[in-house]
Amino acid sequence: MQSFFCLLILFYFSFISANEEHTVTRKVSFQVPDVEKFIAEGLNNHNSRDGRIGSGYVASSYDYPFVGDATTTWPYNHNTTCTGSLISIIWFITARSCIINSANIMATYFTVYFGSAIRSSPYRVFNYGDYAIFKTGTTGNPDPEYALVRLGIIMNLSDTIKPILLPRRSQSNQVSPFPEHRVDIVGWGEINSAGEPTLYLRYANFYNNEAWDCPISGMITRYHFCSRTYSLAVLYSGDFGGPVVVYDQYYGEYILIGVTNYFIYNHAISTNIGLFMEFISETTGIPWRY
């Protein structure tokens, strides 16, 4: 069984105004190489299977090599779990609430495990890192939220550790990205409402809605999009921050189009990553592809 690769990231925290658009703790000068060189080719196209992400279908370590298992340690040693995605050899994207809660309390430590779809005896690498947070000043319930985390070391890539591609310019600025396309939502969340943790990375198939066809459209902002499931798929605690991945047949590539925020009425609500690509590219140095 392949050991997990993990990173322990100690954040330098700063006050975050509710009205500011983004916060970067310090200037990021490291420019990553062209991420296309490390395209995540290991994905399998699960066309016929669907199920509850908490207790449904188990992924292999090669299916989603960009997915990381994130553990947040809060003050008083309270831990929570999130999911996130490797987007370059040093940058990780997840939900903002995974590193700062609704009371603006910052996490004490942030640990990310890579390289395996099974939780077991992970090998630990302890390191410091940076973080950058983007938060819109728009109204909405909830606000779109995601966080960019700079890892403390450069990742050694392999068949089970590869970054996922981000949207091209032509794929960005879409209110409803890839409508009616099947998407994979992947997570390390609990397997039931009783809070039972999972030992395996799991996924479910959803289908993206048109913007006007979301049953809870009045509860989300223009920075969200809605994905429905026709099965009993449910996202539980720990799945949030995880990727929404689509296969673009025109370019023949898998891309990350969303970060999951919450789940209601058989619909996953996710932050639309394409709308924030200018900020993501400027912060991380990842080229915004044409």
pLDDT in tens, 140-182: 444 568 889 888 778 888 888 999 999 999 888 787 888 888 8
CATH architecture of 5-13+39-284: Beta Barrel (2.40)
**Does the structure show a pLDDT above 80 at 46?**
no
Structure tokens at 197: 């943790």
Give tens-digit pLDDT for 14-23: 333 333 333 3
Q: Percentage of the chain with pLDDT > 90?
A: 20
Give tens-digit pLDDT for 50-100: 333 544 588 888 899 999 988 888 888 788 888 999 999 989 999 888 888
Structure tokens at 27: 């200037």
Task: Compute the half-sphere exposure of residue 201: CA atoms within 13 Å on the CB side of its CA.
Answer: 30
Give tens-digit pLDDT for 120-135: 655 444 445 666 776 5
Give tens-digit pLDDT for 215-260: 766 667 778 888 877 665 566 667 789 999 999 999 999 999 999 8
Closest CA to 235 of 223, 222, 247, 226: 226
Q: How many CB atoms lie within 10 A of CB 107?
A: 24
CA 75-113-66 angle, to 5 degrees, is: 125
Q: What is the DSSP string of 168-190?
A: PGGGSS-SSSSTT-EEEEEE---
DSSP 193: T
Structure tokens at 219: 């509860």
> Distance between CA atoms of 26 and 101, rounded to whole angstroms?
21
Contacting residues for 246 by C-beta, under 8 A, at least 6 apart: 177, 178, 181, 182, 183, 184, 208, 254, 255, 257
Task: Compute the half-sphere exposure of residue 230: CA atoms within 13 Å on the CB side of its CA.
Answer: 9
Q: Phi-psi region for residue 223, left (φ > 0), alpha (ψ -120 to 50) or beta?
A: alpha
CA 143-225-36 angle, to 5 degrees, is: 105
**Does the structure show a pLDDT above 80 at 287?**
yes
Instruction: Give just the sign of the alpha carbon dihedral 271, 272, 278, 282.
Output: positive
Q: What's the pLDDT score for residue 143?
A: 58
Q: What's the pTM value of the predicted model, to 2 decimals? A: 0.77
